[in-house]
Structure formats: structure tokens, C-alpha cells
Structure 1
Amino acid sequence: MYKYLKQHLFSVGCACLLLLTNSFLQVLAATKMANLANALIAKNINLFGQLLMLIFLLWFISFIISFFESYIEESATQDILTDIRNDIATALTEMPESDFQNNPVDYYESYLQNDVNLIQREGVNTFFRIVRFSGNAIFALIALYLYSPILFITAIFLVVLIVLVPRLCKKYLSNGVEEISKANEKFLKYTSSGLHGYETLFVFNALSEIKKLVDTGSSILKKANVHNAIRRSIVDIITSVVNIGSQLIILGITGFLHFKGVLSAGAILSTAELATKVFDSAGIINRYLAQLLSTSGIFAKFSKLKNLVIPDKQKFDLASFPMQFKTLEFRDVSFSYPGSRTTILSHFSYAFTRDNFYKLNGDSGRGKSTLLKLATGQLKPNSGEILLNGININQIPQKVINELIIYLPQKVTIFPYSINYNISLGRKVNLEKLASIKEKFGIDDSWQYNSLSGGQKRRVALARLIDSTNKLVLLDESFSSIDLKSSQDLLQMFLKDCKTIILVSHRNNEIGDFPVKNLTLK
């Protein structure tokens, strides 16, 4: 976490400075308690009233500083969390697609939500609390030294004793936080499967299973959080016993020094308050430090994610590679999904060439969609090789592959932005061209991303093929949810701009009279 604190050093430093200033003012107010008690004993009402006003003023200034500190601290915290999320998102974009598909989407959502929330609660917020209570302890120790070096030395010894506890309990508490992180992932897996499967459960009159799935996930969360609470309670009990004992020792020494005539009677009020600040702060720092250290497990998870990067293909000679599609050749390719005994493709060989329209035929599960994903490098063959423009696809950077081959999957994802964004996907597109594309695909400017029908979503997805010239376009049931006449018209428009298409469709009459090369997978 040091990396992120360093990135926002100025705002973090300002928040820390205000926290320390607050601690100084509060300790200063505590030291005035001795003078207040002595004025009371001496029956000096004027001095007593002045000291009361001074103590109130010190606390009032402290409250004002707290207001500004809270704002700066929260701003710095949110900036840090944004950086962490950006780093996770960057790691996800740099992962090989095959590795990304090894886990459900909920797994990565847990990184961005649950784990980042844990970092905020157990890490960033805890860091600022440590700074605050460290200031309390340091200034209180200085004040104790000014009263008596004996009080200072005794307090230092007892503080060291308290601080040793989190070192001994680091692994114990870290395991608890890791259990919660894993429980959150399982909770999302159960609840998400129920919500995503709503339609299936509805059809079979089994919607009550959603409640069962949520209950199962909740039970897992409860178990992990209860176990973690028990761990923290055990550590808290140990530190609390040491804390209370330490405060009583300081009070005992203060009383002894008063009987010896070294300290005034009123000093016991200040030393009691200072001892409370020192040992309460040490106990709190003890707990917070253990919490802060426990986030190391979460950052270790992030590090593993960052290590899953797409292999660097620096040796690829981009200058000599033709940046327009010519051929896609499968040579003796076989493929089966991990853990499956079924072979989807077996010794498949075929060459797709430029300026041809292909239609993949075959029963469901015969590998039509799989073949398209192999073509884009999303899947890797178990044996054989795939050549793009005569070069093994494994040697070509993924960005280059995506420049030559555009794959439109069956599932259409609509993002919570404008229709223009959902077409351009952040790419720089001339507004006139964008308007022309929307007109071509019958997309109205009044459409809202959150109220699109199935057919409208398909039109938006097809419109994303902004520039298909000199590219191979893979259409996987891309005209489903669109009526037959409209799909034929859209396909006709496609063939005007794009000369090379591989289409998967279960509607044979969707092709109409278009010249097509049929390829049947058996």
C-alpha cells in the first residue's frame, strides 16, 4: 500500500499533519487539567475560570481542524482506491483472454468491490487512524516526561509490551481477513448464479431457489466474519488487560511521587488523562497495525493477477506483416475444453480466403462458435496450428489479430453510457460517420441504453463494425432477435462494405440468394 500512499503524498501528508496537530492540541488540553485541579484546590476562582475557557478553546480549535482533516482524508482515500481499481482494471486488460475465462466474472467483480472495500476499511482508513493515535501517544509521552522521567521510562516500557502483541498476532489476524475475502467471492458466486439464472428458475417454477442460494452465501459470509471477530476479540482482550494494568501503574507512580512531594495533587488528573491517551492509543494502534498488516494478503492476490500478462511478442516484425486480411488457415487443428472428454474439433483443416462469404453449418455443440474463438486467439488449439496471413497466430500480438479479425459474439453487452458510446466503444469516430452508421442500421438517437429491445441491441452491436474493410468479420448468431427481412437487408449492407465474412446462423433462409460457401462441421 506504500506505493499508493506515495502517489498521493501531498494530500496524505496534509491529512497526517492535521491529525498530528489535533493530537497536540488535545494533549495540551489534558496537561491543563493539572493546573485546573490545582486552582480548584487553591480556591482561585479566576484562574479556574480562565483555565476552563482555555481548555474549551483548545478543544474547539481541534474540532474545526477535524472538519478540514476529514475532507482531505476522504479525498485522498478515494483517490487511492481509484488508483487501485485502475491498476486492477489494467491487469485485467493485459491478461490473456484464456486466463480471464478461467474464472467467472463475479470473481473479478469481487476484486473491484469486496477486496477494494476491505483495503479501504482495513488498510487506508486504518493508516490514518494509526497516524492519529500515534500522535496522541507521542505527545502524551512527551508530556509525561515533562512531569517526570520515571513516568516516561515506565510508559515506554509498557508501550513496547503492548506493541509486541500485533507482531505475534499478524498471521493469526491475516488469515481471518483472507477467509472473509474468499467468503465474499463465494457469496457473489452463489447470489450471482441465482440472479443470472432468474429466467431459468422462473420457467421451472423454482424462483425460491434464489433465496436458497442467497442463504447459502450468507451462511458462508457469517461463518467467516464470526471467526474473524473471534480472532480480533482474543487479541483485543490481551491488549486490554495490558492497557488497564499499564494505566494503573502510571497512576500508582504519580501517587507515589505526590507523596514524595515531587508532583502536585492536581498532576494526577493530567497523568491519568495522559496515561489513558498513551495506552489506549497503543492498544488501538496495536489492533489497527494488525489490521493494516492483514491487507498484505489482498495485495498478494493483486500481484498474482498482475503476473498473468499477455506474453511479450517483441520479435514480431510488424513492418513486414500485411495489415489487411488475406488468409486464415487451420492446419490439422484439434480442440477440447479443459476437463471435457468431448473433442470439439478433430484434425480440422481448412483455409478461409479474402473476398469470400462463408457459412458454418452443423448441429449444436459441433464447434462453430469454438472455431470462431480459435480464429481470434481467444482459445488455443490442443494440437495443430492456425495461420493468419501465413503466420502462426501464436506469434502475432493480440492487438494485431484484432485489427484484422473482428468477432461479434452471441451475447450483446450494452454499457451504461450513450448510444454513441456503445457504438464507438471509446474509439475516435467522426460524428458524420457515426451518424451515417446509425442511419444504416436503423438506430434512433432517442434510444436509451437501459431500455433497448433484443433487436435494438443487435443493431447497436452490428453498428460497432465501423470499419470492416480489408478485415475478416466473424458473425456468431449476430442477426438473431432481428426479423428475417431486416436481417437479410442488414446482411446485404454488410456485403457492400465487407467482402470476407464467416457467419454462424441457424436460419438458412437468412442468407437468401447471396453467394455463399457452406462449411459443415461434423
Structure 2
Amino acid sequence: MKTYLKRFWKENAVVFFLLTVTNVIQTIVSVRMAASLNTLVNLDFESFFKVLAEVMGLFLVFLLVLNVQINKTSETKQKMATAIRTDITKRMEQASYTSFHQKQVGTYTSWLSNDLNTIESSGFDLFYQILGGIIATVSSVIALFAFHWSIVVMTIVLTALTLSLPKLYENKLKTASLSTTEENERFISKVTDTLNGFDTFFSFNLLQKLTRNTQEASVALADAKNNQTRVTAKVAILGAFGNILGQLSVTGLTGYLVFRSLVPIGAMMATSDLAAVIFNTVGNLSQQLAAMRAVEPIFEKFETLEISTEKSSEKIPTVLSGIELEQVGYAYGDKQVLEKVDASFELGKKYAIV
């Protein structure tokens, strides 16, 4: 995935800038809302409404930039997805006949559709979420210095703890994610084969196999997805625990500082909001990073399609003058339809087989 992020670095740099603007504005708003509470405590209504007007202006700018950011992010993501599909099909062009046919067409279809959807949602989308979260966290930590250094120290310590907990299941999540994509390939291949055999099933009165085969493949896919969900849930719970612990600890410390008259009462509102941003980001970060890393095996899977470095010596049968059949037969199940048939088909002529 890094390859495509670097290839489209200009587009991603624009997205980074827009994410920075939106997240910094939100941080400034949190700090200014603390000032509004202080003006209320001092019964300074004129200053209170001035702060509200300032915050309204910041929100309007935020919404305008957010609109541009959402559109630019989507455009960049689709450019990278198209580039991945192009690279996969180029590998197909350069693969030997034998290499290409080592996998079924349904598998390649899954690469270009389902796997690309996974890369978009669990790869690029999460990358932008993580990037935005990191920007918001850094700006929030800087903002906390405006209130008291001890709040920053506690935040850093609890952030490290929150990040370390979900790593216990990182490898399991990676394995579960790969298993789901592989099972999805098998599902598509089996369903494709089953539906292609409709005529045969119909002839032998075995149409119930359509439902049976699809159900079996669906159950296997469901098991893989449920296993992935169970692992993801454990990662999420550990992250949520760190999130809750961090927010409550920062709020408690700020309350203590207010009682000691070391910070104004408005700091309660600001530090609470900033802590929520930091620990919501950090609480989800391990889960998001693990899910994003789980996309790596998908890219590695694309590399399994071998590229032929030399001109293939394989001979694909071609019809030059016609087809000669000698002593051939054909059976439809147990029923012998043709036996010891000789036939000649000349190139360029038309024949009807009845």
C-alpha cells in the first residue's frame, strides 16, 4: 500500500494539508469554548457572545474545508484503486499461459472487486482516519500545555498504555483478515462453478445442488468473517478500556487543579474535549493499525501471479486447416451418446451437429 501512497504523493499531500486545517480548527474551538465558560463565570456577557461569534466563524471555515477534503480524499483513493487494478491486469498480460490458469477466473475477479473493496475500506480509508487522528492528537496535546504541564505528562503516559494493550492481538487479527479474503475467493469460485453447471444439474434433475453448494460455501465464509469479528472485538475492547481510563484520569486531574486554583474552571470543558479527541484516537489506533496491516497479505497475494520473463515456449493449439476426429465418443453421465465417430471439419465451412 505504501507504494501507491508514494506514487500519488502530491494528491496525498493535499489531503494531508486539508486534514491538518480541519483538525486544528476543531482544537482551537475546544480552547475557545473554555474561554466562553470563563466569561460566564465572570458574568462578562459581552465577551461571552464575542467568543461565540468567533467560534461560529471557525465552524463555517471548518465546514467549507471539510467539503473540499471529503471530495479530494475520495478522488485520491479512487486514483490509487484504479492504479492497483491496472497493475494486476498488467501482471496478467505478462503471465504465462500455465501461470494464469493456476487460478480460476473467479479468483481474479475477486482480486479486482472484493479485495479492492477491502483495500479501500481497511487500507486507504483507515490510513486517512489514522492520519487525521494523529494530527488531532498532536494539536490537542499542544493545546493542553496552555492549561498545565501535568495534564500533558499524564496524557502521554496513559496514551502509551492505551497503545500497548491491543497489540496483544495484532498478529491474530492479521491472520484472521487474510483467512477471510481467501475464503471469499473460494466462495466466489465455488458459486461461479455451481452456476455454470446449471444446464448439467437441470439435465440430471440435480438443481438442489445449486442451493446446497452455495449454502456450504456461504457457511464457510461466514465462519471466517465471524472469527475475524471476534478478534477485532477483543482489540476494540482493550482500546476502549484505555480510552475510558485516559479521559476520566485527565478530567479528574483537571478538577483537582481547579480546586487548587491552578487553572480556571473553563479548563474542565477544554481538557475534557481535548482528552476525548486524544484517547478516542489512541483507543482506536491499535485496532485501525492492525486492520490496515492486515491488508498487506492481500498485496502479497497479487504477487503470486508469476510474470514470464522470457517469451513463452508453450504452444497454444491453433486451427490451421481444419479438425479431424477419429474414433471419438461422448458420454452424458452414464449414457453413451456417441461412440467410434469419425468426422472432418474444414476451416471456413459451417456445420450443424444434431
Output the TM-score relative to the length of structure 1: 0.61
Specify the alignment match of 2:52 in structure 1. 52
TM-superposed CA distance for 1:364, in Å, is 4.2
Instruction: Check conservation: 1:133, 1:284, Cα contact below 8 A.
Output: no
Specify the alignment match of 2:326 in structure 1. 362
AA aligned opposite 2:308? I
Which whole-Å CA distance do the structure 1 matches of 2:56 and 2:201 have between them?
64
Instruction: Check conservation: 1:162, 1:283, Cα contact below 8 A.
Output: yes
Output one character per residue of 1:385-444: Cα deviation in whole Å (capped at 9) or x when no partner: xxxxxxxxxxxxxxxxxxxxxxxxxxxxxxxxxxxxxxxxxxxxxxxxxxxxxxxxxxxx
TM-superposed CA distance for 1:134, in Å, is 1.0
TM-superposed CA distance for 1:154, in Å, is 1.3
Q: Which moved more, 1:286-295 or 1:21-30?
A: 286-295
Specify the alignment match of 2:301 in structure 1. 301
Specify the alignment match of 2:12 in structure 1. 12
Output one character per residue of 1:471-497: Cα deviation in whole Å (capped at 9) or x when no partner: xxxxxx9x8xxxxxxx88x349xxxxx
Which whole-Å CA distance do the structure 1 matches of 2:199 and 2:17 have between them?
55
Task: Indicate how the Cα distance of structure 1 residues 16 and 259 shifts in structure 2: closer, same or farther if over 3 A, else same.
Answer: same
- Report whether the alignment pairs 1:89 with 2:89: yes
SS of alignment partner, residue 146 of structure 2: helix
Output one character per residue of 1:120-161: Cα deviation in whole Å (capped at 9) or x when no partner: 111011111111111111111111122111111211111122
Match of 2:310 among 312, 316, 324: 312
Structure 2: gaps (5+ residues):
331-342
TM-superposed CA distance for 1:357, in Å, is 4.0
Which whole-Å CA distance do the structure 1 matches of 2:47 and 2:277 have between them?
26
AA aligned opposite 2:78? Q
Instruction: Check conservation: 1:81, 1:120, Cα contact below 8 A.
Output: yes
Specify the alignment match of 2:142 in structure 1. 142
Which whole-Å CA distance do the structure 2 matches of 1:62 and 1:364 have between them?
76
Specify the alignment match of 1:278 in structure 2. 278
Output one character per residue of 1:220-254: Cα deviation in whole Å (capped at 9) or x when no partner: 22111111111111111111111111111111211
Which whole-Å CA distance do the structure 2 matches of 1:254 and 1:357 have between them?
90
Greater Rg by CA: 1
Task: Indicate how the Cα distance of structure 1 residues 215 and 41 shifts in structure 2: closer, same or farther if over 3 A, else same.
Answer: same
Instruction: Check conservation: 1:126, 1:288, Cα contact below 8 A.
Output: yes
Which whole-Å CA distance do the structure 2 matches of 1:108 and 1:229 have between them?
25
Specify the alignment match of 1:26 in structure 2. 26
AA aligned opposite 2:325? N
Q: Percent identity?
A: 24
- Report whether the alignment pairs 1:228 with 2:228: yes
Identify the structure with the greater helix proportion.
2
SS of alignment partner, residue 178 of structure 2: helix
TM-superposed CA distance for 1:312, in Å, is 2.4
Which whole-Å CA distance do the structure 2 matches of 1:298 and 1:229 have between them?
18
Specify the alignment match of 1:515 in structure 2. none
1:75-86 pair list within 5 angstroms: 75-86=75-86
Output the TM-score relative to the length of structure 2: 0.88
- Report whether the alignment pairs 1:200 with 2:200: yes
RMSD (Å), alpha carbons: 2.5
Which whole-Å CA distance do the structure 1 matches of 2:75 and 2:307 have between them?
31
By relative contact order (CA 8 Å, sep 6+), the higher-ranking structure is 2
Instruction: Check conservation: 1:173, 1:232, Cα contact below 8 A.
Output: yes
SS of alignment partner, residue 215 of structure 1: helix
Which whole-Å CA distance do the structure 2 matches of 1:364 and 1:151 have between them?
86
Specify the alignment match of 1:36 in structure 2. 36
TM-superposed CA distance for 1:16, in Å, is 1.5
Structure 1: gaps (5+ residues):
317-327, 329-351, 367-476, 480-486, 493-504, 508-522
TM-superposed CA distance for 1:298, in Å, is 1.0
Instruction: Check conservation: 1:85, 1:112, Cα contact below 8 A.
Output: yes
Specify the alignment match of 2:107 in structure 1. 107
